[in-house]
Amino acid sequence: MLRETLARLSRSIKRELQTWEATLALALELALLLMLPREVPPANLSTYVDRLLAGERFNFVAWELQAIWGKLTHTLVAPQRYMDETARSSFLLDYLTVVAHIQALEQELQRIYSDPQVQDKEPASHELLLMLDILRHGEDARQLIAEAILEEQAYSVLASEGFGALGYIVPPVGVHFTSVPTLLVISPRERIERVYSAELHHGLDAAQREAIEEEIDAAQNVSSLVVDVGGMSSYPAMVMESSSIVWVTDVTVHEWMHHYLSLRPLGRHYGCSPETRTINETVASIVGREAGRLILARYYPNFLPQEPSATAQSQPEGNTPPEKPAFDFNLEMRKTRVQVDALLAEGKIEEAEEYMEMRRREFVAHNYHIRKLNQAYFAFYGAYADEPGAAGEDPVGPAVQKLRALTPDLYTFVRRVASVTRLSELEALIKELESQAGDQQPSGHGQPSPGPPHSLDDRSGRGSP
């Protein structure tokens, strides 16, 4: 009897400690996020846009209070703790299947309401709306458990990669599936640089976005764009609803990496310069992709995509390798960015804008439906430089990839880059690591072997960045 009483008391104390741990972590992260620097736009631009869009701004305070309350109340119960790993993985996959059904119904409803052949839309959509309501209730009942399972799986993988200390990761992984705000991005016309951004309501349609962009552009002589984003590094991180386990694992770690870096110079100075932002986003993309694959390999091996290099290596001898796509999006976007940078450097703003519109139509003709291609587009997407594309010839992305190739594991990579905020610092770090690697390599005829050392990607069968 005494042993059972002590065991119950121990479990109760453990639950209380876990609850307080989560509460303190949330409070710490909220304070850090509020302290993060943002872009510093010209005063007249900031004042004008803030007044213009006062009614369109996303309410982060209300969202945070609701999300945090849900997390805290779930921590008191945490039913996923009583599931084995197979049941936990199956539960998350079942939840994502429900999301897929919901998205399919929503697409069908959109088709009905946009089809001029359907005259009486309410009767045609009545049954679908009933089914959607049932599925939404089922989704709501499962969501917090599914989020907790994903958080704990990501936590376990990140801890095994070395990010934890004494069994704890700070901050803990926190994610919430939700409708993510749209993001207004503003760049000067004469150069590509993100000088202002603001989170707006979710679900703005194309006409509303065009109206906002046109008014700002005309009044301030800038280039603006309202874009959709897949996630935001609030705490818990906002992650767009998706039915893809590959996508949600990647984005969950990507956003957690922003949380992790917010405690370090690279995160604290996120908005201070385009270089810093690109380093930060590229690091998060690399870690999200690699750690996301580790989560899949451990918990969802049937969903682990084959690496491109592995696909090439598994090609039977004598077979013709798969042809490259006739229109390579990343390659064509890189070409576009390089030409735009050249035109803007010569002061040919109108010519650059005409060229971007011409290229946009080419992308649309190849089924890449880009609504607007302008300086703001490149200012936003160019920060994600883990692969060729909108970054053009910006040296920051390749430098981050080179640093990753010179480090033996993800934790070492992040630890070394976390204090870097400038390209010059990044290049100095790379030079130092290359020098160390050269000193350690065996020499032949008294000379070091040419070229960089083998990377982790080489050893794991993954192609060079």
CA distance 275 to 281: 10
Tens-binned pLDDT, residue by residue, of the chain (465 aa):
545 544 554 455 445 445 445 554 555 555 544 444 444 455 688 899 989 998 899 999 999 999 999 999 998 889 999 999 999 999 999 999 999 999 999 888 888 887 778 778 788 888 889 999 999 999 999 999 999 999 999 999 999 999 988 778 999 999 999 999 999 999 999 999 999 999 999 988 889 999 999 999 999 999 999 999 989 988 999 999 999 999 999 999 999 999 999 999 999 999 888 899 999 999 999 999 999 999 999 999 999 998 765 444 445 555 555 566 788 999 999 999 999 999 999 999 999 999 999 999 999 999 998 999 999 999 999 988 877 788 878 899 999 999 999 999 999 999 999 999 999 999 999 999 998 877 665 544 333 333 333 332 332 333 322
Q: Which residues pair with 238 in a beta bridge?
A: 176, 232
For residue 146, the enclosing domain spans: 9-34+60-163
Exposure letters 330-348 (e unless 16+ CB within 10 A, then b): eebbbebbeebbebbeeee
Domain-embedded: residue 146: yes
Domain-embedded: residue 228: no
Domain-embedded: residue 343: no
Domain-embedded: residue 49: no
Cβ pair 284, 254 in contact under 8 A:
yes
Q: What is the pLDDT of residues 388-446, one digit of tens each?
A: 788 878 899 999 999 999 999 999 999 999 999 999 999 999 999 998 877 665 544 33
- The tokens of 430 are what? 């790379």
Domain-embedded: residue 428: no
Q: What is the pLDDT of residues 40-70, one digit of tens each?
A: 455 688 899 989 998 899 999 999 999 999 9
Domain-embedded: residue 81: yes
Domain-embedded: residue 72: yes
Q: CB-based contacts of 169: which residues, under 8 Å, 6+ apart? A: 155, 158, 159, 163
CA distance 160 to 154: 10
Exposure letters 299-313 (e unless 16+ CB within 10 A, then b): bbeeebeeeeeeeee
Q: At 188, phi and psi to the nearest 5?
A: -60, 155
CA distance 405 to 464: 8
Q: What is the pLDDT of residues 92-116, one digit of tens each?
A: 999 999 999 999 998 888 888 877 7
pTM of the model as a whole:
0.79
Number of domains in the chain: 1
Domain-embedded: residue 2: no
